[in-house]
Structure formats: C-alpha cells, structure tokens
Amino acid sequence: MATITRRIFLKRFSWTGLLLWALRIGVLVIVLWGSISTLASGRYSASTWLALLIAGLAQGSIYALIALGYSLVYGILLMINFAHGEVFMAGIFTSVFLAEALEESGFLARHPFLTIGALLLLSMAVSTTVALLLERIAYRPLRNAPRLVPLITAIGASFFLQYAFRGFFGSGFKVYPEFGRMMGQWNIFGANIQVVQVAVFLAALVMMAGLYWFVERTKTGKSMRAVSEDKEIAALMGIDVNRVIVITFAIGGMLAGAAGVLRGVYQPQGISFFMGFVPGLKAFTAAVLGGIGNIPGAMLGGLFLGVFEGIGPNLILQGLGIPAANQLKDVIAIVMLVIVLIFRPQGLLGERLAEEKA
C-alpha cells in the first residue's frame, strides 16, 4: 500500500510533469496578461478586430488549402511531403506568366473572371504535374525504405524545385496583376472589409466542401480512406493502392495550385522561387495543429492559424509592450506549433496515433 501511494506520488510530481505544468501556466499567463492589457488600453476598436478576423480567415483559407496536401499525403503514406510548398510555388509562379500576357493584351481588363479561371486551370495543372512527378520520381522508388529516407528526399526535392525555378526564371520578384473588381471594399459594422478577402475565403470554402464530399461520398474517396486505414487489407479488397496514392498526390497538387492563384489575387507582391517555403511551413503547422492525416483538421487548423496570426500579435504581444508586434506573426505561428507538439501532439481533431496506426 505504501509503495503504491509513493508511486502515485512520484508519478504526479515528476520533474517533467512539473515543468510541463509550469510551461502551461506560463503560456496561459502571458496570453491572458497580454490580451487583457491590450484590450484595456482600448487601442483598437471592435471594428478593427473584425477586420483583422476577416483578413485572418482569408490568409487562413490559403493555409488550409495547402495544409490539406500535407495531411492527405500523410494520411496515406505516413510521410511528410516537405516539397509541398514548392508544389504551391510552381503553380503560382507559372501562372504569373499567363497573367502578365493576359494583362498586356487587355483580356484581363475585359474578362477578369475568365482570366482568374484560366489562371486557376494553369496553376492547378502545373502544381498537379509537379506533385505527380515528385511522387513518381522521388517517393515511389523509396516506398519501402525507412521513414527517414523519403523525408530527406522530400527536402532534397524541395531544394531542387526551388533552384530549378531560380535557374530558369531568375531570382527576381514578380507581381500578380490587379483585378479591378476585387479591389473594392465593403463597410460592415464600421470595419473595412476587402472584397478580395471575402472572395478568397468563399472560394476556399467551396473547394474544401468539394473535397469533403469527394472523400466521404465517392467510390474513389472511400478507397482513399480505406487505404489510409489499412493498405494491406485495402489491396486485398481489390483496391489499386498505387492508383490511390497517385490520386492523393494529384488532389494535393490541385489544391496547392488553387491556393497559389488565391494568394496571387490576395497578395500580388513577392512572387519568387523561394515563396513556397514560408507558406509551406505554415501550412505544415496548420496540418499538425488540426491533427495531421485528418482532413477536417487540416481545414480547421489552417483557418485557425490564419486567424491566430492575424489577431494574435496585436492582441497578445502588443499588450506586453512589444513594439511592431505584427512583425512577429511568423514567430508566433511557430511558437504555437511547438506548444501544440508539447501539449497535444495529436492535434485539435487528431486521434491518437498509437491506436490508429500501430
């Protein structure tokens, strides 16, 4: 009896446990203190917060679309496709050329929506092609290799793609053309909401709903879920596992390509060979945040990260007296990834891997 009590006692008061609790409380105190002092200072009005929220949702929906690519591939192959940011970059980078040509010819001014449609098609096609080539050349030959090997290959593929684009198209920044009608603003509850933010958010929602329907309702979607649960048995049921893997990469690529155009319309600046890195990292964070391998998790994680990035720095850091808090939005995103990994490694919606995949 005495030993049992001691064991419970020791377990409860282990140093790691104590440290984790201290960390938890520390995080909570910082967040609360920062938020309260910001709100108390009355620096921002409610309409500013609303504007930040909408901007965060627009940014987050782009993250979500990219995050789905990470999560889908992880769900099927249990591997992180670290070259996915470059899949995204390849699409938007290529579509800039078409956008420039259409702008010069005046087609863009006459048919802005047709132009966006054409850009979407091109960007999605290029991203999908790159994703499929990656799968075929870089990952498939290593399907049965230890898990570290494809991970390193993915990083190599990522560099290869970046520097291939740099080699062919130079390292300068390119700019997406402006779409006149998207530039307007609405005034809602005193907040200035850009039309483009709402458009980006809605477009992403439509695509995510489409994906959800595809995975839940179609035969191919069901075979994807079956393969992600148990490859061996799925093959026994006659599912062509290779085909499912190819489809998964293709869907990830399509979504990344679409995310590229949305990014270009929303933030026309800064299109370069290196532009996939940070969004790729953020989307990976979003996927982990939602629970990697989980489709609604990736959507939710992306939106949450976007909003957190939009509001977090102003809300939490400003109150702590940190100047130019907005510059720290990347920091706050990565800090959140670390905190999630410490306290809830399975993510917001993820189920524990131990029982699922063991």
Name the residues that contact another protein, by CB under 8 A. 219, 222-223, 225-226, 229-230, 232-240, 356
* H or E element, residue 281: helix 277-290
Cα R_g (the chain), whole angstroms: 22
Q: Which is nearer to another protein, 78 or 121 (CB)?
A: 78
CA atoms of 252 and 255, how far apart (whole Å): 5
Smallest separation (angstroms) from another protein to the CB of 229 = 5
186 phi/psi in degrees, rounded to 5: -110, 150
Nearer to another protein among residue 151 and residue 241 (C-beta): 241
Closest CB to another protein among 68 and 227? 227
Q: Are β-strands 191-194 and 185-188 bridged in parallel, bridged antiparallel, or unpaired?
A: antiparallel
Element containing residue 186 per DSSP (H, E):
strand 185-188
Distance CA 344, CA 27 (A): 14
CA distances from 15 to 10, 20, 22 (A): 9, 9, 10
Do the beta carbons of residue 139 and residue 150 sit within 8 Å?
yes
Find the shortest distance in angstroms from Cβ 224 to another protein: 11
Q: How far apart are CA 27 and CA 294, in angstroms?
A: 26
Residue 89: which of 302, 275, 267, 286 has the closest Cα?
275
| Of 241 and 320, CB closest to another protein | 241
Closest CB 228 distance from another protein, rounded Å: 9
Among residues 7 and 217, whose Cβ is nearest to another protein?
217
Q: How many Cβ atoms sit within 10 Å of the Cβ of residue 327? A: 11
Q: Please, are residues 246 and 135 in contact by the beta-carbon 8 Å criterion?
A: yes
Residue 183 or 233 having the CB closest to another protein? 233
Amino acid at 66: I
| Least Cβ distance, residue 26 to another protein (angstroms) | 36
Residue 242: CB atoms within 10 Å: 13
Q: At closest approach, how far in Å is the CB of 47 from another protein? A: 43
Q: Considering the complex, state which of residue 6 and residue 357 has its C-beta at the smaller distance from another protein.
A: 357
**DSSP reduced 3-state for 272:** coil
The alpha carbon torsion through 189, 51, 54, 198 (nearest 10 deg) reads 70
- CB nearer to another protein: give 43 or 243: 243
Paired strand residues for 174: 271
Please state the closest distance from residue 231 (CB atom) to another protein, in A. 11
Residue 133 Cβ vs another protein, minimum distance, rounded to whole Å: 25
Min separation Cβ 350 and another protein, Å: 12
Complex with another protein: residue 43 or 222, whichever CB lies closer: 222
Taking the complex as a whole, the smallest distance from the CB of residue 85 to another protein amounts, in Å, to 29
Please state, as a whole number, how many other Cβ atoms lie within 10 Å of the Cβ of residue 122: 21
